[in-house]
Structure 1
Amino acid sequence: MRFIRTLSNYITQYFPLWVVLFAAAAFFQPAPFKPLGTYIPYLLGLIMLGMGLTMSLNDFKLVLTRPKDVLFGIVLRYIIMPVVAFLVAKLLGLPPALAAGLILVGACPSGTASNVMTFIAKGDTALSVTVSSFNTILAPILTPFIFLYFAGTMIPIQAGALLVDILKIVLLPVFIGITLRMIASSLVDKVNNLIPAFSVIAIIMIITAVVALNATKLVTIAGMAFLAVILHNSIGLFLGYASSRVTGMSESKARAISFEIGMENSGLAVALAMAHLDPIAAIPGAIFSVWHNFSGSLLAGFWSTRKINNQKTL
């Protein structure tokens, strides 16, 4: 068991390295990896099941004692990132499919990595977990219609089909995970340390599939896509923090909201893009999966060395 845990930590710790290696392999030899594209929704379902296994009803209780903080995080999350994605796409003149993919990333809920980054950054981890949980539960309703509003003029979109897919590959696995944790908590606790490694493997497989399916087109659009993702993520992290402080939230809360806004469930964006859009639309989500972990780690590391001043600004 110790060996398995060590291996799990090794897989998780060097996540960016594995992504680069497998993505490079898929780029130069795409044929063996293309069949993985068929399994992207199932891989994401496994990731969301793992997320559900780490959640409990306690993650939602904070809304009863601090409803303003939770509501603020949810509203900002679903306003800032779609708007920023739309403006970045217009500014860079992205092709319609690539622009739609970037907007889809912005319309998806925050990712679980935001909770880890908040903890490292000495932020309000309880707030981060609660906002992530509610964002995920609300995604089937909000994501399709936000995406339709911002990207509907660029490409044809079936919001109803998106809603059904999010229900199947996000909400259902999450609820199954939460239920399993409730009825078999002792067993779930034994495997909880292994869940991040399985999630990392699934994300690597998803990114590898996207690269393989778009290998011939990546040469011409990779630079533009990288720039768009970096701007989207960086602006999101900044506005998340700045808007929180301007509205009077404490430093620890602002750090949590910054990660909740700037870090996305980009795997969901990839799965939805592959199922409903041009495969090129999956590229921003694949790049985001790697980049937001890198930028988030840098920011969390910086904040971890800075003293928390929890005085409100207003």
Structure 2
Amino acid sequence: MKLSTFNELSDKAMPVITPIGVVVGLALGSRIAAYKGWGTFFFACITFIGALQISFSQVAKALRRGRTIGMVLVCAHVLLPLIVKALASLAFPSSPSYVTGFILLSSIPIAVTSFLWTTIHAGDGALALALILLDTLLSPLLTPLTVRLLADSSVKLDFQGIITSLLYMIVIPSLLGMLVKQAASEACTNARPYLSPVTKVCMMLVIVLHVASLSGTLTFSAVYVPLILMNLVVIALGFVLIYSLGRYVLHEDRASVVSMTFTGGMRNISAALVLATSYFRAETALPVVIGILLQQTFVGFLGARLFSRDTG
């Protein structure tokens, strides 16, 4: 099988890669839980490889679109967390850990995989990359601040640890990847097909290791049903809100709306899982684990509904 064919097939398999990782992690459980610390390294590899596609000139050009970028960031880090906090508090009034889990989900940085979905649906790649990078650089400030302001005071938080993890997992690898892209752009382009499978393997390992660390503390019960429904609401809310603002308020072109919708609507749930299992109670991680099972699949469905190529 040609590498290009394999990459195309693995891209189509994205909706099932993360659920498989959850199942494997639960099955292996305590046998690999001791290796959870490697999850940070594997996530840093994902971020570094993703940043190899980003040039400083691309980012500089896209950053001139201040109104568009500002709209996405305000929606992603102000409007959505506030709405999610309100909805989660209504749905789980006696479970502050669940509410905190959903707040963490809504305040985590933009997913690197949103660039993949942007390209699949013919969006503005430069705009998506600029949003991913800018949000990444701001994450050590925005994520802990949002959680601190919105989470229940009864939930203890290690803000220094969260900030440090975001720096190691996202900010530093992103800057290093961009520097390599600047120094050896052609080599990065040539290496991209070979690194794509590495990214997916690393994503699988992150999920497996961190879900395994939860396997002994999570029990299946009827509470999973409202958590699943709430996750679907949160994902759909982000998509519909930012899509509507981009198309009907800012009147952006189709390619820009595609980029805004996927970057604003998708969260780096693997990073949220690392933070949740490292700095929060197991109950806080439960909405994150369920989010991992749902996000890629539901995103594929929503993207097809909103951006079918024959309706562009």
TM-score in terms of structure 2 length: 0.87
1:45 paired to 2:44: yes
1:312 aligns with none
1:304 paired to 2:308: yes
1:295 paired to 2:294: no
Q: Does structure 2 retain, via aligned residues, the 8 Å contact 1:123–1:255? A: yes
Please say which of residues 95-104 and 27-36 is displaced more in the overlay.
27-36
Q: Does structure 1 retain, via aligned residues, the 8 Å contact 2:238–2:265? A: yes
Q: Give 1:238's match in structure 2, choosing from 197, 218, 240.
A: 240
Q: Deviations over 1:88-118 (max 9, x none)?
A: 3212207322321221121112112222323
Mapped partners of 2:8, 2:123: distance in 1: 23
Shift in CA distance, 287/36, structure 1 to aligned 2, threshold 3 Å: farther
Q: Deviations over 1:264-313 (max 9, x none)?
A: 111111111122112343333333334222122222223123533xxxxx
Mapped partners of 1:63, 1:164: distance in 2: 28
Mapped partners of 1:126, 1:116: distance in 2: 12
Shift in CA distance, 64/180, structure 1 to aligned 2, threshold 3 Å: closer
Mapped partners of 1:11, 1:278: distance in 2: 33
Mapped partners of 1:19, 1:107: distance in 2: 20
2:229 aligns with 227
Q: Deviations over 1:229-248 (max 9, x none)?
A: 21110111111112223423
2:103 aligns with 103
Q: Which amino acid aligns with 2:169?
A: I
Please say which of residues 258-267 and 196-205 is displaced more in the overlay.
196-205
Shift in CA distance, 235/82, structure 1 to aligned 2, threshold 3 Å: same
1:265 paired to 2:265: no
Shift in CA distance, 52/7, structure 1 to aligned 2, threshold 3 Å: same
Deviation of the 1:131 alpha carbon: 1.6
Q: CA RMSD in A?
A: 2.4
Deviation of the 1:207 alpha carbon: 2.1
Q: Deviations over 1:205-227 (max 9, x none)?
A: 22223332333524124334322
Q: Which amino acid aligns with 2:167?
A: L
Q: Deviations over 1:1-40 (max 9, x none)?
A: x755554444443233344444334334423342342222
Shift in CA distance, 29/275, structure 1 to aligned 2, threshold 3 Å: closer
2:116 aligns with 116
Aligned residue pair count = 307
Shift in CA distance, 187/63, structure 1 to aligned 2, threshold 3 Å: closer
1:254 paired to 2:253: no
Please say which of residues 270-279 and 64-73 is displaced more in the overlay.
64-73
Aligned residue runs from structure 1 range 168-207, under 5 A: 168-207=168-207
Shift in CA distance, 122/51, structure 1 to aligned 2, threshold 3 Å: closer
Shift in CA distance, 25/307, structure 1 to aligned 2, threshold 3 Å: closer
Mapped partners of 1:199, 1:287: distance in 2: 21
Mapped partners of 1:45, 1:156: distance in 2: 26
Mapped partners of 2:96, 2:23: distance in 1: 26
Shift in CA distance, 226/209, structure 1 to aligned 2, threshold 3 Å: farther
Q: Where does structure 1 differ by over 6 angstroms across 4 or more consecutive aligned residues?
A: none
Deviation of the 1:123 alpha carbon: 3.5
Shift in CA distance, 108/22, structure 1 to aligned 2, threshold 3 Å: closer
1:83 aligns with 82
Q: Which amino acid aligns with 1:138?
A: L
Shift in CA distance, 158/243, structure 1 to aligned 2, threshold 3 Å: same
Deviation of the 1:181 alpha carbon: 1.4
Q: Does structure 2 retain, via aligned residues, the 8 Å contact 1:122–1:304? A: no
Q: Does structure 2 retain, via aligned residues, the 8 Å contact 1:81–1:236? A: yes
TM-score in terms of structure 1 length: 0.87
Mapped partners of 1:171, 1:283: distance in 2: 26
1:32 aligns with 31
Mapped partners of 1:7, 1:124: distance in 2: 25
Structure 2 SS opposite 1:30: helix
Shift in CA distance, 21/48, structure 1 to aligned 2, threshold 3 Å: closer
Structure with more relative contact order (C-alpha pairs < 8 Å, separation 6 or more)? 2
Q: Which amino acid aligns with 1:304?
A: S
Aligned residue runs from structure 1 range 6-25, under 5 A: 6-25=5-24
Mapped partners of 2:97, 2:43: distance in 1: 21
Mapped partners of 2:13, 2:73: distance in 1: 31
Q: Does structure 1 retain, via aligned residues, the 8 Å contact 2:111–2:267? A: yes
Q: Does structure 2 retain, via aligned residues, the 8 Å contact 1:36–1:205? A: no
Mapped partners of 1:146, 1:263: distance in 2: 17
Q: Which amino acid aligns with 1:99?
A: V
Mapped partners of 1:3, 1:225: distance in 2: 41
Mapped partners of 1:88, 1:15: distance in 2: 29
